[in-house]
Amino acid sequence: MTPQQAYDDLIVRFKEYSLLGSINGMLGWDERTYLPTKGSAHRAEQMALIARLAHERLSSPVLGERLGDIEGTDIVREADSVPAVNVREIRRMYDRAVKVPVSLVEEMTRTFTRAQNIWQEARSKNDFPSFAPWLEKIVKLKRQEADAVGFRDSPYDALLDEYEPGATAREITAIFAELRKELVPLVAQITSAKKKPAGDILKREYAVDRQHHFGQGAAAAIGFDFQAGRLDTTVHPFCSGMGPGDCRLTTRYHPREFNQGFFGILHEAGHGIYEQGLDPEHFGTPMGSAVSLGIHESQSRLWENQVGRGRPFWEHFYPRLKQMFPGTVDDVSLDDFLFAANDVRRSFIRVEADETTYNMHIILRFELEQDLIRGDLPPKDVAGAWNEKFKASFDQAPPDDAHGCLQDIHWSMGGLGYFPTYTLGNLYAAQFMDQARKDLSGLEDDFRRGEFSRLKGWLNEKIHRPGQRHRPRDLAQKITGQPLDSKALMTYLRSKFGELYGL
């Protein structure tokens, strides 16, 4: 077999693995949207089988043989070529997969699928003790995975690498410490300011069906293609990219909390625009896949906050909001609405947090996750540890576990190592948006006209279409010329909220 034949066979085999992952994604989407409650156990078995089949393909000795036939040949001589990138990243995934027993993969999938249903019920009943035994199972399984994969400094690194390749707990701890050092005094300065937004503006009556229509229109305006996607409701919002032509967004609504549904839609639409921006020609290969969850989050946070909470965006959409909800905000000026949409306050729920306090929510979870994986925190004690850390960071304790350790779905789905990518996404988003403004003059004028195609095109070209050609840090460096740090984010936050709060 020639190197070219080996490469062609490698891609065919890897695409089969990716298709199985896509099928599992579809089952997962259905489980979190429309699956009857009593179908959870059966769905767990379905997803466990698909996960086993996918893992067997990814860890197949034949895949390793094909990689060996290709590596070191002319096909991969140019490091940034399509074959070289695909081989490099498939090798990384293969080397990880062969270390993890298929029985563990199957058991994790089965457990996580069941645990999500248990979590959802526990959250609705504010009943952490009913979820605690499942969290204990999850942590045990994730420790086994970390031990199987291996690590240099911390078992948490083995889990983090799945979501943000190359990142370590040590370096993220340093970045977060620098960010917190600047965030804490800024939040204190803002929350003690005399100028305050009107708290009732976004808590008036906003009919859910109109919220859905308005949010879907905004998502379409910024570039999400609803001919290749859809929008549904769920307990915890998410985006699922199934493949070319099929990307699913979800959000949740509350008739008296406009922010929750609308900005949830913008956030998930940012993820969806990334998925739809990947090169369909390379679907199922690293060149047709997102770089990392940190880069993925940069796209959702960019559209949600940098664009969606900005004045130019609302200069276009506020008149439409008034038309959609007649009588609701007729007495509210654009300035007052915008101020309310950017209200800074210490709140309990991460997904409803403002841009300044949001990262404190992530740092709390990052610290707890490391304690769990190291064995320093028994899962049964999570609720108490959460409340203690929250009180220290936010000067208030959650009223119950639904507003505390049960609010997020991530641990129930086995996503330990996922949370840091949200703040990494905020950091990347600030740097990307700063560069986009330099490259695209008059961008805010575009937004005032309801025109978002130039920004979307820039993101398509710089971030989406290249797939995994560059690792996360290298991609950011290539686009912005700067290493990842907190400077751009803090400059943006100080400028924006300083103006809003008269600081």
Cα–Cα distance, 123 to 215 (Å, whole number): 26
Q: Label residue 488 by pLDDT band (50, 70, 90).
A: very high
> Cα angle at 353 between 408 and 484, to 5 degrees?
90
Q: Which amino acid makes up residue 422?
A: Y
Residue-wise pLDDT tens digits, 113-150 = 999 999 999 999 999 999 999 999 999 999 999 999 99
Decide: helix, strand or coil at residue 241: strand
The pLDDT of residue 369 is: 97
Q: Label residue 168 by pLDDT band (50, 70, 90).
A: very high
Residue-wise pLDDT tens digits, 278-298 = 999 999 999 999 999 999 999
Cα–Cα distance, 204 to 127 (Å, whole number): 30
Catalytic residues: 268
The pLDDT of residue 220 is: 98
Q: Mean of the pLDDT values across residues 398-410?
A: 95
359 near 186, Cβ under 8 Å?
no
The pLDDT of residue 315 is: 98
DSSP string, 386-414: HHHHHHHHHSS--SSGGGTTTS-STTTTT
The pLDDT of residue 302 is: 98
Residue-wise pLDDT tens digits, 17-38 = 999 999 999 999 999 999 998 9
For the chain, the domains span 3-133, 169-501
Residue-wise pLDDT tens digits, 489-501 = 999 999 999 999 9
The two structure tokens encoding residue 324: 């959609």
The pLDDT of residue 199 is: 81
Q: What is the mean pLDDT of the chain?
A: 96
Indicate the pairing of strand 239-243 with strand 246-251. Answer: antiparallel
Write phi, then psi, for 377 (nearest 5 degrees): -125, 110
361 near 379, Cβ under 8 Å?
no
Contacts 24+ apart (CB under 8 A), 209-217: 210/324, 210/325, 211/253, 211/258, 211/261, 211/262, 212/253, 212/261, 213/324, 214/262, 214/320, 214/321, 214/324, 214/325, 215/251, 215/261, 215/262, 215/265, 215/266, 216/265, 217/320
Decide: helix, strand or coil at residue 481: coil
pLDDT > 90? residue 1: no
Q: Label residue 352 by pLDDT band (50, 70, 90).
A: confident
The pLDDT of residue 429 is: 98
Q: Mean of the pLDDT values across residues 196-220?
A: 96
Q: Count how many residues are written for the chain.
A: 503
The two structure tokens encoding residue 187: 């939040």
H/E run at residue 319: helix 311-324
Residue-wise pLDDT tens digits, 236-273 = 899 999 999 999 999 999 999 999 999 999 999 999 99
- CATH topology (fold) of 169-501: Neurolysin; domain 3 (1.10.1370)
E runs forming strands in 38-160: none
237 near 408, Cβ under 8 Å?
no
Q: What percent of the chain has pLDDT over 70?
A: 100
The two structure tokens encoding residue 370: 């490391």
The pLDDT of residue 236 is: 83
pLDDT > 90? residue 351: no
The pLDDT of residue 58 is: 97
The pLDDT of residue 305 is: 96
